[in-house]
Amino acid sequence: MKLPFQRTSPTATAFSSSCAEFPPIDGAEISAVVHGTRLGGDFYHFMRTAPHRVVFGLLDVAGHRAENHAIISATRDTFQQVACAKFSDEDVNEADAMMEFCTELNATIRRSASAVCVCAAFVGCYSEDFGTICYVNAGHTPGLLRHGNEIVELRATGLPLGLFAASTYEAPTAHIAPGSALLLVSRGVVEALRKKQEFGLHGVKEHLLSIPVDHANVVAASVLDAVQQHLGATPATNDLTTLALVRQAK
């Protein structure tokens, strides 16, 4: 029997982050970690919409959190409501549903913002039956799909949300093989700067290749550990957020 998809109480790590742990998904795990105090517009969301389907996302609304709080709140509400409506039917075409879902998120951001507001987003639908994700990368940093010693970048399939009313979004499908992991990181992770040197996407890739990918919470937290080591005493100037989806080896 599947458990309801809900978060448990966060736990604190040595570098003052919050790590949300989630009830089991059949054959997989998902987890997200936020480092320190939220400064900007990063937020993640996740929910079970059907017996074998989980929808998740990592979004980054541009601007300071005090300024974009209303946009984040409205977008989170739309995520909850529209994901349920679009992905609840077991026989739904996931690509069509994902494109419609992102169109609704885009419209919400445009309605909620007093001016043009940019929101990079990676939104996915994970199928427990097939071990696949149907996804849209709306101007977000690439999703990193690791299998063995190889990493595939899931690059942008459309413009960031919030820019244009008529934006369209391609929704390809990627297979997450047993023993593989999908890692999403916010722009703040990639742009973490110390002495004019960014941690960079290459830094994320190198670290992801160096660690076991057995547990989602370990993958998500370990990357932020590496970013903190890179920063040293330099304070972060943007949100540092990671989300990991691990499919367990058979």
Q: What is the pLDDT of residue 24?
A: 66
Q: Profile the chain (250 residues) by mean pLDDT over runs of 10 residues.
A: 31 40 80 84 92 95 89 95 96 97 97 91 97 98 98 98 95 98 97 94 98 96 96 90 95
Residue type, 14: A
Using CB atoms within 10 Å of the CB of residue 220, give its burial: 0 to 12 exposed, 13 to 18 middle, 19+ buried.
buried
Largest distance between two CA atoms of the chain? 52
132-138, strands of its sheet edge to edge = 42-50, 53-61, 119-127, 132-138, 173-175
At 22 the pLDDT is 64
Pairing label, strands 173-175, 132-138: antiparallel
Structure tokens at 109: 């951001």
Q: The domain 11-247 belongs to what CATH superfamily?
A: PPM-type phosphatase domain (3.60.40.10)
Torsion from C-alpha of 154, 160, 166, 168, nearest 10 degrees: 0
CA 105 to mean position of chain CA atoms: 15
39: which 2 tokens?
């400064």
Residues 6+ positions from 150 with CB-CB distance below 8 Å:
none
pTM, full prediction: 0.91
Nearest to 241 by CA among 173, 166, 191: 191
Query: What local confidence, expressed as pLDDT, does residue 36 receive?
Result: 73
CA distance 177 to 130: 9
What DSSP element (H or E) covers 188? helix 187-190
The pair phi, psi for residue 77, each rounded to 5°, is: -65, -45
Check if the beta carbon of residue 170 is closer than 8 Å to that of residue 126: no
Is the Cβ–Cβ distance between 152 and 186 less than 8 Å?
no
55: three-class secondary structure by DSSP:
strand
Radius of gyration of the chain (CA): 17
